[in-house]
Amino acid sequence: MGAPTATWKGVLLGIIAARLHALWVLLTTTGLRLGEARGLQWSDIDFANGRLVVNRALQRQTGSGYVFVEPKTAQPPNHIPRTRGA
């Protein structure tokens, strides 16, 4: 089996970009930190009122792996309203 062709590389990059699209939209439209976005759970989403509540962040710690920690935001819980287009 030979090295991947430029076509296959493009296909793979497209798959990766599509998979991460929702994350990039969330980060760029809300101002969330990556760890805060990774710490979100379905119960943090208030679909009826169109907002997120940031209760935790996911952080990698040496010797412990990934752990949930308090978000850096000074005013917990951090309510993020839904932005237009997101």
Domain count for the chain, please give it: 1
Whether the model clears a pTM of 0.95, i.e. scores above it, the answer is: no
Q: Is the dihedral of CA 25, 27, 32, 37 positive or negative?
A: positive
Which of 38, 6, 85 lies closest to 14 in space, CA to CA?
Answer: 6
Domain span holding position 69: 6-81
For 8-34, write each residue's pLDDT tens digit: 888 878 888 888 888 888 888 888 899
Q: Are 16 and 10 in contact (CB under 8 A)?
A: no
Residue 41 placed within a domain = yes
Q: Are 69 and 57 in contact (CB under 8 A)?
A: yes
HSE, CB side, 13 Å, CA atoms: give it for residue 72.
9
Residue 1 placed within a domain = no
For 32-85, write each residue's pLDDT tens digit: 899 999 999 999 988 898 888 888 999 999 999 999 998 886 554 566 766 665
